[in-house]
Amino acid sequence: MLFTSYSFIGFILLLVPVYYLIPRNRQWWLLLFASCLFYCTFDPSYLIYVCLTALTVWGCAMMIRMDQKTQDDYLKERKEEISKEVQKAYKAQHKKIREMWMILGVLINLGILVLVKYYSFFFGHGIKGLGAPLGISFYTLQALGYLIDVKRGTVDAERNPLKMMLFISFFPQVIQGPISRFKDLSETLFSEHEFEWKNISFGFQRVLWGFFKKLIIADRIAPVVNTIVSDVSKYRGAYITAVLVLYSLELYADFTGGIDVTIGISQMLGVRVTENFDMPYFSTSLKEYWRRWHITMSQWFREFVFYPVSTSKPIQGISKFIRKRLGNKGKKIPVYLSSFIVWLLTGLWHGASWTFIVWGLLNWFILMVSEELEPVAAKFHEKYAWSNTKWYKVFTWLRTLLLIFVLNLFDCYRTVGETFSALWSILATANAKVLFNGEILKLGMSGLDYFVILAGAGILFAVSYLQTKKGSVREFIAAKPYPVRFAIWFVLFITVLLVGAYGIGYDASQFIYNRF
């Protein structure tokens, strides 16, 4: 049941009224039922994986909680009787027990992930009968984040396993995120919600905006991109230049459109889901881009990989060793090492292939080089006043966009060799004429389609620009007189209905991030 399918729209049209009609303390039950139903529409057997993750994480978290309670009760009772050293030893002993439960939960769930998603990559062949359930990369990270948070004591363990199941399987976000933190999502996910017209209308508007991105832009571009990347020996040079721009636009419209639908539907149900994007293509550096693109994933890796790794004993040991040998010069090496691991895992998380690993490591390399060159850049800006002008900022923006476009190309090809071959052909193949002699119109998009894409991209840009100036666009429109706001949303609805690339003649494209 894809977000843009009739069945999903029907599902929501049925769910929302029932959600507000049933007793409020049963609302989360309905969400759990709806989430299981939604997940089953892809393949009922997938639900077993989600249940397994929910149960193991819930069980381990409960063991951690119980152990914490045992420790606290024991120390409270005997606070006066035992010495501080004994207390410390007792705490250390229990900390290890809790760590053990956490590691057990992490290992089980990473084990499942590796078995279903990475086994064939590591061992050259898959396990018969095991397929990767949709969204496993997303919900596994979300579940592990919760378990680590419980271990750290930043959230209290959820006692109800069914609520844990809902946290992991909440249908609007289960297959493509965002990767929510328990403390953020649970607050509204399990609470009781009164019907609020604003939630319904704002949620619907957000869904409509997501459909605009997905159906008018992303799904219209997909056939051209798929055709070009299907044969690297045939489509080279200018075709690849076209794909650089088209695929990045498709990816943006597809992923942010999907998240818009997720957030919109959640809002209709009164559930607040974390934002995952902050106008990422307006970034003027790769570092900034990763603060604004797929925010929840970056935060997860920073919080649960980078910090633990960089403060781990081996890295601290390396840090000490380097400081002894190189002094201040090598102070960033441990950070770079930790980042290396983060980006290696980020690449692997995106997919079990070398293209994603190379993509991750290229990101790491560029970020580290930028970090190293920061003092030089600072001096440069100090020395040349023109480098602080608006035009220079435009230059850095375009430079960053180009970099992002090139990195995004690694999503497209099956092998690293094909990707580099395609990139090299941009410089080596002089065939710019195919962009103007009608050849490009034979790949699945007509001239009118290109016009629609251009207009759609213009609207995306204008809306993002408005957002930077006025804040929430929906609030901005809501402040207008009723006929104006009705006209705006109705025109958007009609535009999606008429111009959207759906139905017979169009491929119902899966959301790109559903694959991860």
Partner 1 sequence: MNQKLKNLIRILASVLIVITVLFLLQKILVPKYVTGIVEGAFVAEYYKEENKDFDVVFVGDCEVYENFSTATLWEEYGINSYIRGSAEQYIWQSYYLLKDCMRYHKPKVAVFNIQSMQFNESQSEAYNRMSIEGMKWSFAKIGAIRASMTAEEHFLDYVFPILRYHSRWSELSGDDFRYMFNSPNVSFNGYFMRVDTRPVDYIPDPVQLPDYRFGEKAWKYLDEIRKLCKKNDVRLIFVKAPSLYPTWYDEYENQVEEYAEMYGIPYYNFLELTEEVGLDYSTDTYDAGLHLNINGAEKMSHYFGNILSEQFGIDDRRGDPQLDAAWAKEIGAYEAEIDRQCVLYGVDKDTLYRYNRPAETEETETEEGS
Q: Are 134 and 111 in contact (CB under 8 A)?
A: no
Q: How far apart are CA 371 and CA 376, in angstroms?
A: 10
Binding mask 49-78 for partner 1 (x = CB under 8 A): ------------------------------
Token couple for 45: 């057997």
Would you list the DSSP string of 93-141?
HHHHHHHHHHHHHHHHHHHHHIIIIIHHHHHSS--TT--PPTTHHHHHH
Smallest distance from partner 1 to CB 502, Å: 8
Q: Is 499 in the site for partner 1 (CB under 8 A)?
A: yes
Residue number, 113 or 215, with CB nearest to partner 1: 215
* Residue number, 18 or 448, with CB nearest to partner 1: 448
The CB-of-195 to partner 1 minimum distance in angstroms stands at 15
* Contact with partner 1 (CB under 8 A) among 18, 378, 454, 494: 494
- Is residue 482 within the footprint of partner 1 (CB under 8 A)? yes
Gap between the Cα atoms of 268 and 263, Å rounded: 9
Q: Which of 102, 382, 498, 515 forms a contact with partner 1 (CB under 8 A)?
A: 498
Distance CA 109, CA 141 (A): 9
Among 228, 490, 492, 511, binds partner 1 (CB under 8 A): 490
CB 390 within 8 A of CB 397: no
448 binds partner 1, rule: CB under 8 A: yes
Instruction: Output the smallest distance, CB 158 to partner 1, in A.
Output: 39
> Which runs of consecutive H residues, i.e. helices, occur in 41-83?
46-77
Which CB, 5 or 316, lies closer to partner 1?
A: 5
110 in contact with partner 1 (CB under 8 A): no
Question: Which region among 16-24, 320-328, 393-401, 498-506 touches partner 1 (by CB under 8 A)?
Answer: 498-506
Q: Are 192 and 480 in contact (CB under 8 A)?
A: no
List b or e across 226-255, with b for residues whose CB sees 16 or more CB atoms inside 10 angstroms: bbbbeebeebbbbbbbbbbbbbbbbbbbbb
Footprint of partner 1 on residues 295-324 (CB under 8 A)?
none
Q: Which residue has the tokens 């709806």?
A: 34
Instruction: Please identify, among the stretches 243-251, 285-293, 315-323, 502-510, the one whose residues bind partner 1 according to the rule CB under 8 A.
Output: 502-510
User: Does residue 486 interact with partner 1 by CB under 8 A?
Assistant: yes
Site for partner 1 in 175-194 (CB under 8 A): none
**Residue 234 Cα distances to 165, 415, 419, angstroms:** 48, 16, 14
Task: Decide whether 465 or 486 has the Cβ nearer to partner 1.
Answer: 486
Name which of 132, 196, 188, 163 is nearest 61 in CA terms: 163
Q: Residues binding partner 1: what is the number (CB under 8 A)?
A: 15
> Smaller CB distance to partner 1: residue 6 or 33?
6
Residue closer to partner 1 (CB basis): 384 or 486: 486
Cβ(367)–Cβ(286) below 8 Å: yes
Residue 505 to residues 7, 301, 333, 445, 508: CA-CA distances in angstroms? 19, 40, 54, 12, 9
Give yes or no for residue 13 binding partner 1 (CB under 8 A).
Answer: no
Q: Name the one range near partner 1 by CB under 8 A: 124-132, 296-304, 305-313, 491-499.
A: 491-499
| CA atoms of 221 and 228, how far apart (whole Å) | 11
Residues in contact with partner 1 by the rule CB under 8 A = 6, 448, 482, 486, 490, 494, 497-505
